[in-house]
Amino acid sequence: MYSWEHIAPHRGRAMLKPTASTRGSLCGAAMMVAAALVFSTRAIAADSNAADRSANPASSWIDPSLLAAAKPEGTMVVYSAINEQEGLPSWQLFEQATGLKVQYVRGSDAQLVSRILIESRSDKPTWDILSSTAVHKLPQQLLAEIEPSEAVHLIPAARDPNRRWYGTGANYDVPSFNTKLVNPANLPETYEELAGRSDWEGHVANNETDAEWLAALVSFFGEAKARALVGKLVTNLKPALISGHLQVARAVGGGEYWASLNNYVSLTLNVKLSGAPIDFWTIEPIALFFHEVGVDARAPHPNAARLAANFVLSQEAQRKSTTWGRLPVRPDVETNPPGVLDAFRGKKVIPITLSGDAEKKADGLYKELVAGRTR
């Protein structure tokens, strides 16, 4: 069975690692907490995967020769920005199908990238695959060039031309609203119309950083018009800034705010599937970026890593991810609820991949136009 480690968000270092191979000793109380956490996460995975074991008697993503080469490696290390409740059940499917053990290290995008860069400088790589929206931000030489067999089934935008990363989940950026507080028939159809809703002033929220959304606006309208439009949105609506896109979705779903200027559709669906009165609507342009997977160029377990990368792109893993509202990157996998992607057909969808100077510029522009004006 897998073990897992969690990076403390306020310190950026390992907080828990309840595994038999843990170095050093823990005090009695900490051991009890760790044991309880392992039990609870295993219970989550076991309950969530009960149906999958019978529904997937064969795993077509398994390359027999690659599995044979991975068997002597025995294990692999996953660095992931996906929370344990979602991530662990999927990786249990991988363990059951391959017999390989997974060590799951959970952290934010920034924490994981920082950790990888530190390990690279110290010449001590410990990770095998990275699952994050920030894979493409790593120096190219740190990522192996791979071509998983399941990648042929992905939408084209989810395949890096240099084969360093592949999309595993689609993040569409559109506004969300509380269905009990806002009449769907009266939703604005453009951002210009949204900026004119003076009655929404003080009832709108947004994430404290949203570089991809702003980059899509600039690409669509041009920088001058995008600046004027965002300035009008902020001046007229006075959006509250919240730390974390999931927290934005929960705030709108909980009725704390009527709407968000934008948010990830997958997180809006996540909260909607929990029973909250929240939904999304589309306003052009729609930014699209991906949760990605990449393999360490010096992976300690290279064969297991490549097999795992193929797994997360498989129909089996993609279906599993929709349990929590995540949007698949394979056309042969239906969304949950069905038909979500129909809302984007015929709309202007702009794939965004920010890194380096482009990311710094978009971040700076967002701070100037949004964060700097709401304080």
- pLDDT at position 14, please? 33
Domains in the chain (CATH in brackets) are 3-170+290-324 (3.40.190.10), 171-288+342-373 (3.40.190.10)
Q: State how far the Cα of 25 lies from the Cα of 218, in Å rounded to an integer.
A: 53
The pLDDT-based confidence of 58 (bands split at 50, 70, 90) is: low
Q: State how far the Cα of 181 lies from the Cα of 253, in Å rounded to an integer.
A: 10
Per the prediction, the chain carries an average pLDDT of 88
The pLDDT-based confidence of 373 (bands split at 50, 70, 90) is: confident
The answer to whether 288 and 353 have CB atoms below 8 angstroms apart is: no
**Residue whose C-alpha is closest to residue 172's, from 342, 336, 288, 330:** 288
% of the chain beyond a pLDDT of 70: 84
**Residue whose C-alpha is closest to residue 310's, from 89, 59, 107:** 59
**This prediction's pTM:** 0.83
Q: State how far the Cα of 175 lies from the Cα of 210, in Å rounded to an integer.
A: 12
Strand residues in 228-267 grouped as ranges (E): 240-242, 259-264
State the burial class of residue 273 (Cβ atoms within 10 Å of its Cβ: 0-12, 13-18, 19+).
middle
Q: State how far the Cα of 294 lies from the Cα of 81, in Å rounded to an integer.
A: 13
pLDDT digits (tens, 9 = 90+) for 237-281: 999 999 999 999 999 999 999 999 999 999 999 999 999 999 999
Residue 17 has pLDDT above 70, yes or no: no
Q: Among the listed ranges 35-49, 76-90, 101-115, 121-135, which one has the minimum average pLDDT value?
A: 35-49
